[in-house]
Amino acid sequence: MSLPCFQVGWRIFIFTAIAALLFMLRLVTRSLCQHFLQTPLNNAVKLPRPLCFMAAPLLGLLLSGCALIKPASPDISLIEPISHPVRFLLTFDDGPSTSNSQNPTASILHDLEHNPIQPGIKALFFVQTRGATLRSPGRELLPREHADGHLIGFHTATSGHKNHRFLSHEDFIASLENGISDIQKVTGSAPKLVRPPFWNYDARTFDAYQMHGMHVLLTDLSANDGKIWGFNGSPRRRINLYNQLSTMRPKMVVGQIPVVDNVIPVVVTFHDTNPYTARHLHEYLQILLEVAAELNIPVSPQPFYQDKTALERAALARTIKSESEVVVLPGIWSWIWGSNPDTGKAKLAAFN
Which carries the bigger pLDDT value, residue 25 or residue 185? 185
Closest CA to 122 of 94, 155, 96, 87: 87
Which carries the bigger pLDDT value, residue 66 or residue 231? 231
Handedness of CA 168, 172, 175, 177 (dihedral sign): negative
Quick one: how far is CA 65 from the chain centroid?
22
Percentages of the chain per state (helix, strand, coil), in multiples of 5? 50, 10, 40
- Could you give the CA distance from residue 102 to residue 93 in angstroms, rounded to a whole number? 18
Mind listing the pLDDT tens digit for each residue in 163-176?
999 999 999 999 99
User: φ, ψ for residue 142 (rounded to 5)?
Assistant: -60, -50
Q: Could you give the count of Cα atoms lying within 13 Å of 188 in the half-sphere of its Cβ?
A: 2
CA angle centred on 110, ends 106 and 113, rounded to 5°: 145
| pLDDT above 50 for 7 | no
CATH, domain range 86-351: 3.20.20.370
Q: End-to-end CA distance of the chain: give it in Å, rounded.
A: 37
- Stretch(es) of the chain classified as CATH 3.20.20.370: 86-351
| pLDDT above 90 for 346 | no
Query: Quick check: bond before 298 cis, omega within 30?
Result: no
The answer to whether residues 187 and 159 touch, using CB atoms and an 8 Å cutoff, is no
Mind listing the pLDDT tens digit for each residue in 193-228?
999 999 999 999 999 999 999 999 999 999 987 555
The answer to whether residues 298 and 263 touch, using CB atoms and an 8 Å cutoff, is no
Helix axes 104-113, 138-147, angle to 10 degrees: 20
